[in-house]
């Protein structure tokens, strides 16, 4: 099965949360309500340093994906 890079998710137990799942390395879920990130990978010291510099980019990409998806619903 081929998965898209990002998947939009929600859960009625958390009605204000908007989740974006990033399915490629490094895999994570971000809650756009508060920008909280849950990583599915374990990182060593070297990875951690690179991750810190790239996290802002991942959040930006997830937000752009969400904005694009919402705009498609509005059309």
pLDDT, tens digit, 9 for 90 and up, residues 17-69: 999 999 998 899 999 999 899 999 888 888 887 887 788 898 899 999 999 99
Domain layout of the chain by residue ranges? 6-74
Q: How far is CA 12 from the centre of its chain?
A: 19
pLDDT of the residue at 45: 82
Q: Which two tokens stand for residue 20?
A: 């974006």
pLDDT of the residue at 64: 96
DSSP state of 63: H
Residue 9: φ, ψ to 5°: -140, 155
pLDDT of the residue at 1: 92
pLDDT of the residue at 74: 74
pLDDT at 2 over 80: yes
């Amino acid at each position: 099965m081929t998965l898209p890079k990002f998947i939009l998710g929600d859960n009625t137990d958390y009605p204000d949360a908007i989740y974006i799942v990033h399915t490629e390395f490094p895999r994570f879920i971000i809650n756009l309500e508060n920008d909280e990130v849950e990583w599915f990978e374990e990182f060593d010291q070297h990875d951690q340093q690179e991750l810190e510099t790239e996290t802002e980019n991942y959040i930006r990409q997830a937000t752009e994906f969400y904005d694009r998806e919402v705009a498609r619903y509005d059309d």
